Every structure is written in C-alpha cells, then in structure tokens.
Amino acid sequence: MEIPNYVMVPVPEQMVPRVMEHILWLTARDAISKWDKETFEPVFHGSSETTKAVLSLTARRNAVEKEITVDMVADLLGITAGQVFESIRAINQEAFDLRKPAVCSTRTVEDTLANGRKARKHLLEMQDNLVDMVQQAEAAERGEVQGSPVEG
C-alpha cells in the first residue's frame, strides 16, 4: 500500500472560505522568489530620488539596529509623511509585480510620551539582505557618478 502525499482534514462548512483563502495565501507566498543583486539594482536605479533617499535612510538605521519612523524620514528629507508612504508603496508595488517580497515595510506601534499620553508611530523596517543590497546599490551609483569625467 502506497502512502498518499496529502492529508485530508475535516473543515466546518462555515470555515471553508477562510481555509481556502489561507491555502491560496500560502501558495502565493511560496511563489515569491527572493531578491538578488542583479534584480534589485535596476529597480533601485530606476526609482525616484525620493524613493532612493527613503530606502537609504531606512537601510542605514536598520543596519545599526536603530528605529526610524516615517515622520523622521519626512523631516530629514523635507517632504510629507504621505510622500514617504507613497515612495514605499511604489517600490513595494514594483516588487509585487516582479514576484519579490516587499522592499520596505511599516509597522505601527504605540509609544508613551513624557506626559503619559499614547501616540502612534510608524516604524520603517527592512530585511537584512535588502539593507545590504540598498547600500551596495547606493555605492554602485556613487561610483558611477564619481567615476565619470568632469567636463569643464
């Protein structure tokens, strides 16, 4: 007798849609391939200067394991929080189109202020391998600029 390579599990009828949704999510997640340098650099170089700056700041802070918030990035770049979110959305949409994981993600946490009040802050996060790729792509871009002859 051959052992089947599947398991049958009874699922209550009212839970079938949720179970099917979860199965589809797992299948889609497994179809996503990881970023590599050859795929990431063209995406980085093709991004807007604002997006590159957002990714750069996020990568630098994540590299030293320090928090960075959307508001911090907006203040440092002189743009609005909405523009930071838009940059993240744009690069993550491109990642989605390429069947890659998100480049940068946000996580909302509650912070207690000095006066005891609670405030929400939106942290920017990036996986370690992407931190390295952003820094490498930046270095490659600077090398191109520094290596080009100056006309004068």
pLDDT per 10-residue tile (average), the chain, 152 residues: 77 87 72 85 94 95 92 96 95 91 92 90 93 93 59 42
Q: Strand 118-125 and strand 105-112: pairing? A: antiparallel
Q: What Cα–Cα distance (Å) separates residue 119 from each residue in 21, 107, 115?
A: 34, 14, 11
What three-state secondary structure class fits 111? strand
Q: Where are the domains of the chain?
A: 35-137
User: Can you give the pLDDT at residue 11?
Assistant: 86
User: Can you give the pLDDT at residue 150?
Assistant: 45
What is 35-137's CATH topology? Arc Repressor Mutant, subunit A (1.10.10)
User: Can you give the pLDDT at residue 30?
Assistant: 62
User: Can you give the pLDDT at residue 29?
Assistant: 63
Spatial neighbors of 91 by CB under 8 A, at least 6 apart, are 43, 47, 51, 55, 103, 104
User: Can you give the pLDDT at residue 151?
Assistant: 44
User: Can you give the pLDDT at residue 10?
Assistant: 87
